[in-house]
Amino acid sequence: MQNDTNRTVWQGEDCRACLGWRSGDCNKGDFGYIALIGGSLQYGGAAKLANMAACAMRSGAGVVKLAVPRTIADAVTPYLLESTLAPLSDRNGELRFVPSEIAELIRNVRSVAIGMGCKTGNGVRKTLQYLLQNFRGTLVIDADGLNCIATRTDLLKGCRPRVVVTPHVGEFSRLTGLAVEEIKSHPTEYAQRFASYHGVITLLKGASTTVTDGNKTYVIERGCAGMATAGSGDVLSGIVAAICAYNNDKLFEAVATAAYVNGLAGELAEAESNPISMTAGDTARHITAAISSLISRP
């Protein structure tokens, strides 16, 4: 296999067009409603789920709807401030698919992220399949959402939404059937192939993050060892869903920008902490500083 080619390193100045600046007469509707679907009784992580929603708010979403199984809704509520809570039907703490609930959740929503801590039960699988068949916005699939489609990647081809998948190497191995070490040896080329074949944007996480639609490929060389901790993927999902919501016309660049913001926020967090003690919440708290360093005031 040839060496990875056709890559462009995504830089801080490249992010400015997606982040932009906001005029005094704007309103929350200008920047999009988004929905984040995650959580289960086993992986409730109330503060972590709320933190993901906060990340989306800090990344510029107009309104964030955090959708969790009703069983854990009361645990999540105290941690929510600006975001809204959308309790969903569940069975034994795992999401139960109720079409009317999902239809209402995604009404007027520009982007949806699904899969964070929700496990891989039948309700999650049916919800994901419903979104792939009916949602008209941008669908970000992460974590257990990726595990749900690992044996049904055919569902991605020709689906209605524009899809962004955000696997780490282990998840990408399950999606493709390739060995982890093989993926690590040629991450760009394998990500390009997957994106091209399935018609999705692939964000392959790693020491360097690859973002590709199969034609164009950006590499984001931001991030740090301290981000190798539980919840970091949730933070990224919140950022991706938010920035995609107000960049419908340049979705590919929005995903690269989100990856850059996430990596830079992690670096800023580690600089104040250390790679051992750092948590995903530290990354979340530095999103504001990361974006401040990237935007240009008029």
pLDDT (tens digit, 0 to 9) for every residue of the chain, 298 residues total?
233 457 899 999 999 999 988 888 998 988 989 999 999 988 877 767 777 888 899 999 999 999 999 999 999 988 888 889 999 999 999 999 999 999 999 999 999 999 999 999 999 999 999 999 999 999 999 999 999 999 899 999 889 999 999 999 999 999 999 999 999 999 999 999 999 999 999 999 998 999 999 999 999 999 999 999 988 999 999 999 999 999 989 999 999 999 999 999 999 999 999 999 999 999 999 999 999 999 977 7
Supply the pLDDT for residue 6: 72
Q: 185 lies in a domain?
A: yes
Strand order in the sheet with 217-220: 8-9, 217-220, 209-212, 201-204, 162-165, 138-141, 109-116, 33-38, 63-69, 84-88
Supply the pLDDT for residue 226: 96
Q: 44 lies in a domain?
A: yes
* CA-to-CA separations, 202 to 10, 85, 161, 211, in angstroms, rounded: 15, 29, 14, 6
Supply the pLDDT for residue 2: 34
Closest CA to 89 of 61, 70, 111, 65: 70
Q: Please say whether the dihedral angle defined by the alpha carbons of residues 149, 150, 151 and 154, taken in this order, is positive or negative.
A: positive
Q: 222 lies in a domain?
A: yes
Q: 2 lies in a domain?
A: no
Q: 216 lies in a domain?
A: yes
Q: 287 lies in a domain?
A: yes
Q: 113 lies in a domain?
A: yes
Supply the pLDDT for residue 5: 55
Cβ proximity of 167 and 144 under 8 Å: no
- Number of structural domains (the chain) is 1
CATH number at 236 reads: 3.40.1190.20
Tell me the residue range of the domain where 252 lies.
8-19+26-294
Q: 89 lies in a domain?
A: yes
